[in-house]
A and B are shown apart, each in its own frame.
Chain A
Amino acid sequence: MAEIAIRGGTVVGRNGSRRADVLVDGEGEIIAVGEDLRGAIEVDAGGCIVTPGLVDLHTHLREPGKEEAETVETGSRSAVAGGYTCVLAMPNTTPTIDNASVVRDVQELGRRALCDVEASAAITVDRAGEQLTPMAELAALGVRWFTDDGTGVQDDHLMRRAMEYSLPLGVVLAQHAENSALSAGGVMHEGAVSSRLGLPGQPAEAEELMVMRDIALARLTGARVHVMHVSTAGAVAMIRAARAGGIPVTAEVTPHHLALTDACCEGYDAVFKVHPPLRTESDVGACRTGLGDGTLDCIATDHAPHTPETKDLPFDQAPPGMIGLETAFAVANTELDLPLETILDRLSWTPAALLGRPDHGTVEAGQRGDLTVIDPDATWTVDAAATVSRSRNTPFAGRELRGVVRHTICSGELVFHDGEVQR
């Protein structure tokens, strides 16, 4: 591959920002950061920031099993269009990523993708909540993240054992925090809006009960627990208190839980159906505050592609989930009253560190050439028909957002250039 010079931008990393060009070599490494660098390929970064690529801890790539909605390849295209250079594939595929064979399949698909694709794996076999997966064998294959996402591990005893078993493996147990007895049948947040719409609701307490339990079990076992897609003010408060008490719990929040409320469901458009559900203004406010003060470590998309015909079902029958890779930065940049460096911290180097990539986060010679070039001031209108993802279920369709991803370089390859995916 040819050398790429990124010219005219402002380099932003966890060690600060400065005006500089960046040169990435054919081996995929940054070889120089400085003034007036030239390369065989030159990329214009005028007016833009040049930052370590975004890292998503929560991506549903749907392969194997639901290739009509997304594949590892199409999902990676969507990822690089959103400025991501690494995504973590969720294991709720068909078959489930719960054994070495499926892990290897997804890793192999990932090697042909446009960005890094890491495989996570289930905590329990077939995510059925009954028997632990061979976590040691899977960890030896490189799996660092275990989750039954789509559902929480309901059995308190089994969750305790999973935490204990995970300790020597150095892996993270990520929880979809939802007490399913309390949320049963609910298709949106339980509250004033669901009551008026006549839709069964899931109370915030369904999430909070499981967060409370997992904090208690993390205190008991010392295991590394991560709370996925936090959506309630109560959960934010509990995580804040747990961290203050030294309990090793981390957490993520999605762009949609930072930007949208249950009022979006009023037209019964299932594009707004998601689990956990869109909550209230005060929950959104608490999530924003939690993200700002670091209680919530990072933003993760929970990119969940679904085909149009499934989202055209009545609200209560449609599957939950929304896509998010291509809008994540712009939503955060538009909606959050946080410094740009903080937003990038939450989207890039902090999630990378949680995933065991502590070097990610600076733009310096010797670092891997995983870079994103973003114009933070340019605006665009989200067009569901123009998504790079194979699916179109974005809740932000028609919204004007601020922040445009111009180019993405992954491991030294220019995979997204001037708004076009390059392969």
Chain B
Amino acid sequence: MTGATGVDGRPRHLLSIEELGADGLRTLLQLSDTFVEVGQREIPKVPALRGRTVVSMFFEDSTRTRISFETAAKRLSADVMGFSAGSSSLKKGESLRDTVETILAMGVDALVVRHRSSGAPLQVARWCDEISDGRTVSVLNGGDGWHQHPTQALLDAYSLLERLGRRPGDVPSLEGVSIAIVGDIRHSRVARSNIEAFTLLGADVTLVAPPTLLPAAMPGWPVSVSHDLDEVLAKTDVVYLLRLQRERMEGGLLPSIREYTATYGLTIERTRRLRDDVIVMHPGPMNRGVEIADDATRLLGSLVTDQVRNGVATRMAALFWLLGGSIDG
């Protein structure tokens, strides 16, 4: 773990929700509230990070996270450089470390790293601390392997607080809220980050999945586990559905999509039994007809629009906080 701190004792990097901690999480949610307001202005832009450079290093395809981060950086008036694996010298065999060294030599302030390998942003952060030669460089995890996706957890927590009518700008809390996370927990960075964020905010989290899609060992995880979706749906306040990737059919993890949907999908039948006040969430992109029936997507309400708006605001909050920006520029 990189324990390095940056400006004013704030953490230097945003690598996992666990490392961020409950206080950091609350601070970022409160800050996000400010930036949601900025986003509603006629000119949704502040000079907070003018002259700072943010590089998005996406070694794995992403549309929403990348555009969201880049929009966030631009609305903070930072200079934004983009980098994606397909167009880079990685194809010529350059190592991750060499790539990081090259970009650091350009004099940058933050790297947003998305990588298919768990832990890659932590390695990049360690190298930045080693190499960066006095200059403080922050690393933001844009999603790594099965490990963490902390800004997704931030935007989900923010969106959930909003839908529950608990103002995130106050002291954000999910005390008394029960949340079921349903689906492929084992291979999900979203699940690992959201479990940490939801429980740090006081929620009761239940994981619902077949044993093959749960992590191999979860001692000390502050969650309950169930294999009975119907029983959980009868009492939960929030259902968070994870995307099921079709390659999970390989390797004996599941017999068939049909059986998965029947056992763990939010089918039409299940939506009929759902209480009216149950909140349904999904990180997107959805597999309609697999984890969620096409007709059930109406239960998501304005979620997709909320996620886009809150994603930009929470990422603005993260960049602003780590880079020690000031509202006045």
Contacts and interface: CB of A to CB of B under 8 A. Distances in A.
Interface of A: 190-192, 194-201, 203, 266-269, 309, 312-317
B126 A199 contact: no
B83 interface: no
Contacts of A196: 192, 215
Nearest to B185: A195
B246 interface: no
Contacts of B216: 190-191, 194-195, 201, 203
Nearest to A194: B216
Contacts of B1: 266-267
Contact of B95 (A197, A199, A200, A313): A313
A109 to B, nearest CB: 29
Given A199-B119, A312-B123, 7 more contacts: A191-B216, A191-B217, A267-B1, A312-B95, A312-B96, A313-B95, A315-B118
Nearest to B18: A196
A111 B126 CA distance: 43
A314 B220 contact: no
B219 interface: yes
Contacts, number: 72
A312 B97 contact: yes
A314 B148 contact: no
B96 A268 contact: no
Q: Which of B117, B147, B218, B220 has the most CB of A within 10 A?
A: B117
B189 interface: yes
Given A267-B1, A309-B95, A313-B96, A195 B218 contact: yes
A192 B220 contact: yes
A192 B221 CA distance: 10
B220 A268 contact: no
A268 B218 contact: no
A207 B118 CA distance: 24
B221 to A, nearest CB: 8
A191 B216 CA distance: 6
Contacts of A197: 118-119, 147
Give the top 5 A-B pairs by smallest Cβ distance, nearest first: A268-B119, A314-B117, A198-B146, A198-B147, A195-B215
Contacts of B219: 192
B115 interface: yes
B217 A199 contact: no
Contact of B145 (A199, A203, A269, A313): A199
Given A197-B118, A198-B145, A314 B123 contact: yes
B36 to A, nearest CB: 30
A312 B124 CA distance: 10
B323 interface: no
A341 B97 CA distance: 45
B192 A198 contact: yes
Nearest to B220: A192
A268 B123 CA distance: 7
A315 B117 CA distance: 7
Given A195-B217, A198-B147, A314 B97 contact: no
A314 B218 contact: no
Given A191-B217, A192-B217, A195-B217, A268 B95 contact: no
A195 B97 CA distance: 26
B129 to A, nearest CB: 12
B25 interface: no
A201 B192 CA distance: 16
Given A194-B216, A198-B192, A317 B117 contact: yes
Interface in B171-205: 189, 192
A238 to B, nearest CB: 22
A87 to B, nearest CB: 30
Contact of B126 (A267, A309, A313): A267
B217 A190 contact: yes
B238 interface: no
Q: Which of A194, A199, A314, A315 has the most CB of B within 10 A?
A: A314
B189 A198 contact: yes
